[in-house]
Amino acid sequence: MPEKKEFSGAKVIKFLIDNAIPFLLLLISGAVWAMRPSFGSVANLRNLIANTSIRFIIALGVSGSIMTKGVDLSAGRAVGLAGCLAATFLQKADYTSKVYPHIGDIPIPVVLICIVGIAAVFGLINGINVSYLNVPPLIATLGMMTVIYGICLVFTGAQPIGGLRNEYLEIARGSMGTLLEVGQLNWFSWLGLIATGVGLFMWFLYNKTPHGKYIYAIGGNEQAAEVSGISLHRTKIFIYIVAGALYGLAGFLLGARAGGMSVNVGFGYELEAIAGCVIGGVSTNGGIGRVSGILVGVLVFEILKIALQFMGVEPSYTFIVQGLVIVFAVALDMQKTIAKK
């Protein structure tokens, strides 16, 4: 007969400690909902899904580098550049303050493909620097972050970009409800559907392909992975290419969501993505991470921000709380690693 799993107080306590941040945020959300009933409104839910969708895509891009004991600090600026490119090429033809007046109406799919390709090239450069030139991921992506920001400044002339085409904005405004004319589905936006598709793709990539197995193997023990015949160079380059492509997609969606862009949009997004990954169980020691956990981590972080806004907390204090959550999440991750040794 199979052995019965014992149910003990120690296991319950361990489970609560391992999931301390999500449980704490659930309690906070419940309290905020009780004090501010509009916190649970359909409009706020739609806003939460839209924000989470874009941040989730960025976090998925960052996750591969973290799982291989690296990091990608260029994510936020890459997203910002992608958004600025999308906004520039998708301005209305008759908009008086158009950045490049000679540009006509370019089909939206063409703009999306070009932006994703450009962002993937930056990812390729990151991958080459990390794998072949042996530049530490922190330094390689920090340098790329600065380069991308400079390119964005030159391209846009540091001016805000508005007057975007309605069909582009509709990508963020539209929902399943508007398509089917069912009001109850208005909360399920196109952004949510796109993020769901990206999440399923990344789940398949991590769990059902050799590339995914290579990522976990390299993160667990890089030397052993190399001895077993895994190409560290190809795997790491592919990680950063995929990350770049996801940043491009996220920036494209962010432009539609924001309704306009500037060079400062995207600043700090890489830190939020890293926080979402760590809160969601992606280990900074490598080799551990799940797509579902990343979604939970990003969702927790977004709920925290919205809850603080509903409680009237000043943005300055919001950054302090977010920073404390990040440190706490990393501390928990380190304690789990130490306990396993």
CATH classification of the domain holding 200:
1.10.3470
Residue 95 belongs to some domain of the structure: yes
**pLDDT for residue 1:** 45
300 or 135: which leads in pLDDT: 135
Of 246, 234, 136, 131, the C-alpha closest to 194 is: 246
Per the CB < 8 A criterion, the answer to whether 128 and 237 are in contact is yes
d(CA 59, CA 64): 9
Q: Let me know if residue 9 belongs to a domain.
A: no
Cα four-point dihedral sign 217, 222, 224, 229: positive
Q: Please give the pLDDT value at position 178.
A: 58
Task: Please give the pLDDT value at position 216.
Answer: 95
Answer yes or no: is 298 within a domain: yes
Residue 152 counted as domain residue:
yes
Structural domains counted in the chain: 1
* Residue-averaged pLDDT of the chain: 87
- pLDDT band at residue 328, thresholds of 50, 70 and 90? confident
pLDDT average, residue stretch 240-259: 96
Average pLDDT over residues 241-268: 94
Structural domain of 184: 25-340
pTM of the complete model: 0.90
